[in-house]
A and B are shown apart, each in its own frame.
Chain A
Amino acid sequence: MAMPTADIMPMLPPSEAPVPATRKRRQRRFLGNRKAVVGLVLFGFFCLLAIFGPMIAPYDPGKRGDELLIGPSGDHWFGTTHLGQDLFSQMLDGTRSVMLVGIVAGVVATVLAVLIGVTSGYLSGVGAEGLSALSNVFLVIPALPLILIITLSLPETDDLTIALVIGCTSWAWGARVLRAQTLSLRRRDYVEAARATGESTWRIIGFEILPNLTAVIAASFIGTVIFAVLSEITLAFIGVPGVSEWNWGAILFWAQSQQALAQGAWWWFVPPGLAIALLGTGLALLNFGIDEYVNPRLRSGATKVRGVKMRVGFTPVLPKGTKR
């Protein structure tokens, strides 16, 4: 399961503001990053599937057929289940629920993270400390069991309520990162200047601080989407009621409960897993793109500067035997 561990490190604030970088040039710099582009393409692909998937599905995903448990063929691209249902259609149909929960939970969590993180970072006093303690508590409590007991105690659950539960429990990571970032921005000269000219607190937060947090917010949004997708699939896999019928996790649930493994029906559980991994990889790549955009030190690839090989960003060393 993907942990947003890459976010652990305090990201460098975008301090050395690329002075006259126009919007267009910045865009080009981000899109010039191969990781970011691949991630964007993968993410876009799944978004399209979520919108059009149920329409282009060749069969009704729940319809039973005569061909039971057959491998991939021309008729059934991904094979069939023990009831003769078409797995390709189930996958297409399930994409919507996966993406919906991921994005809704991501938005909810990011909004909460910005509100709580930036407030507790910018303001000081008991309230701010309290908010920070709150996010630490949510960070330490194991997320999955917490989500489980909340969804189990709700009288009725559907995709949207599950998305809300995931969103409301997984904002803490983003809030922590944003708080740290805000703390470091708070004493910058331009913020002090804005304060000196008498701008209101909310204007400073909204117009001076938030724009400089864009990359961090985007990264925490993507991290939460990864987490939400995996949590939802996990819930469906465990068999929590209320998740959409053909969610990828639900497909895996059926594969597991029908002993697909023992029967050698690899086509039943390989596609959902690969789809999850592809979506997760796409989002993670997008996140690396943002990381490297913000923190140029992370860019991989040997940088050669005029014959001097920069060894790993360490001390430049001339090749042995070169004369000065």
Chain B
Amino acid sequence: MGYLLRRIAFYLFTAWAAITINFFLPRLIPGDPVQSLIARSQGQLDTSAIQSLYILFGLDNDQNIFEQYFAYIGQLFRGDLGLSFTFFPTPVSEVLSDSLPWTLGLVGLTTVVSFLLGTFLGVLAGWWRGSWVDVVMPVTTFLSSIPYFWLGLIAITLLAGQGGLFPSSGGFDPGVVPSWDMDFVWSAVYHSLLPAITILISSMSGWVLSMRNMMLTVSSEDYITVAHAKGLSERRVMVSYAARNALLPNVSGFALSLGLIVGGTLLVEIVFSYPGVGFQLFQAVGAKDYPLVQGIFLVITLSVLVANLFADLIYLVLDPRTRKEG
């Protein structure tokens, strides 16, 4: 239990750090942050948007910085992230709650599938090193060097568009109404196929590589030799002895690099105009919608932290050593 509690404490600390960064960044801008944002937006802001900014930054009254800080945290706990000015006067939290399910569905699911599939392929690539499987290595290296969004562009050109196999944009057909009926669900799944395949192809290769390397490292351990000597079947040694042990570092690596991966996958949404958080981020940057960008940063960070916690739980199940102490 001690392990889990320590992890939870760490995530709470990280969440606090992210919130604090969010609070102090606009205040570190020399001069009046609102003024400089107005200057940067080149007259695209109307007066109500400016007022919303002053409220968000706590500059509309004479509180000192600590009072502002606690007021800000209090605001966050009520789910108040300020007003978006791309979608003025919709609150940021409302904008996000519309888009977050899409992202969780697409990015969350594909990230997990890509990890599982990549790990599986990595086990095979590591076990059969020196055979034709080695051909996979340069291919995966190349694929992992391509930015996700570029692969998306290519996929759209080749497979979508007029007369193509897949729709090139959106999360569902414009004709159907979002609800939990078959039409809508099918349409949503159909629209998510191409982005999902794009993310799969480009994010999987990293897992193949790291799992292969772990397999190679594990495979020269003595217990593998013993397992062979006992006359266990090839498959048994591969799965229950080599892969079982090689998996642990890969799982902790998965948890660690989630933050990096999510950034990349969000871009796929931009290319496909998928109605998720990534696409919203794109629109927010274009419109210099600082409150929305901040809100997205917080929401993504918190989601990654929760995902990390899940990865830790899985690690706990996989590695008996972490359960022993405590």
Contact = CB atoms under 8 A, between A and B. Distances in A.
Interface of A: 1-3, 5-6, 8-10, 12, 133, 136-137, 139-146, 148-150, 152-155, 173, 176, 226-227, 230-231, 233-234, 237-241, 252, 255-256, 261-262, 264, 266, 269-270, 272-273, 276-281, 283-285, 288, 291, 295, 297-298, 300-303, 312-315, 317
B156 A261 contact: yes
Nearest to A295: B217
B196 interface: no
Interface string B250-268: 1011001111111110110
B84 interface: no
B305 A146 contact: no
Contact of A142 (B249, B253, B304): B304
B139 to A, nearest CB: 10
B259 A143 contact: yes
Contacts, number: 238
A1 B14 CA distance: 25
B147 A273 contact: yes
A5 B147 contact: no
- A3, A176, A279, A291: which has the most chain B beta carbons within 10 Å? A3
Taking residues whose C-beta sits less than 8 angstroms from the other chain, chain B's interface range is 35 or more
Contacts of A152: 285, 288, 290, 293
Nearest to B225: A315
B245 interface: no
11 contacts: A5-B257, A6-B206, A8-B210, A133-B13, A140-B305, A152-B293, A238-B285, A261-B161, A270-B154, A314-B220, A314-B237
B21 interface: yes
B267 A291 contact: no
A99 B305 CA distance: 32
A237 B267 contact: yes
Contacts of B317: none
A3 B210 CA distance: 10
Contact of B253 (A8, A239, A276): A8
Nearest to A149: B297
B129 A313 contact: yes
B229 interface: yes
B121 interface: no
B145 A2 contact: yes
B246 to A, nearest CB: 9
Given A1-B148, A9-B253, A288-B141, 12 more contacts: A1-B261, A145-B296, A152-B290, A153-B25, A153-B26, A237-B147, A238-B285, A261-B161, A273-B154, A284-B145, A301-B134, A315-B228
Question: Which 5 pairs of residues, A with B, have the shortest CB-CB distance?
Answer: A280-B145, A144-B263, A8-B253, A302-B130, A1-B264
B47 to A, nearest CB: 22
Contacts of A144: 260, 262-264, 266
Contact of B263 (A133, A145, A262, A280): A145
A176 B249 CA distance: 14
DSSP class of A's interface residues: helix, strand, loop or mixed?
helix
Interface in B116-167: 126-131, 134, 137, 141-142, 144-151, 153-154, 156-157, 161
Q: Which residue of B148, B252, B263 has the most chain A CB atoms within 10 A of its CB atom?
A: B263
B257 A3 contact: yes
A291 B141 CA distance: 14
A141 B147 CA distance: 20
Contacts of B129: 300, 302, 312-313
Nearest to B28: A153
A301 B128 CA distance: 10
B150 A276 contact: yes
Interface of B: 10-11, 13-14, 17-18, 21-22, 25-26, 28-31, 33, 36, 40, 126-131, 134, 137, 141-142, 144-151, 153-154, 156-157, 161, 168, 202-203, 206-207, 209-210, 213-214, 216-217, 219-220, 224-225, 228-229, 237, 249-250, 252-253, 256-264, 266-267, 270-271, 281-282, 285-286, 288, 290, 293-294, 296-297, 300-301, 304-305, 308
Contacts of B202: 1
Given A142-B301, A262-B161, A295-B217, A273 B281 contact: no
A113 B99 CA distance: 36
Given A137-B14, A141-B17, A281 B145 contact: yes
Contacts of B14: 136-137, 140-141
Among A136, A152, A230, find the residue whose CB has the most chain B CB atoms closer than 10 A: A152
Contacts of B267: 1, 234, 237-238
B256 A284 contact: no
A6 B285 contact: no
A252 B220 CA distance: 46
A238 B206 CA distance: 24
B225 A314 contact: yes
Given A153-B290, A237-B267, A238-B281, A261 B153 contact: yes
B130 A301 contact: yes
Which of B154, B203, B213, B253 is most buried by chain A, counting CB atoms within 10 A of its CB? Answer: B213
Contacts of B224: 314-315
Given A145-B300, A277-B145, A302-B130, A256 B209 contact: no
B17 A3 contact: no
Contact of A276 (B17, B134, B145, B161): B145
B198 to A, nearest CB: 11
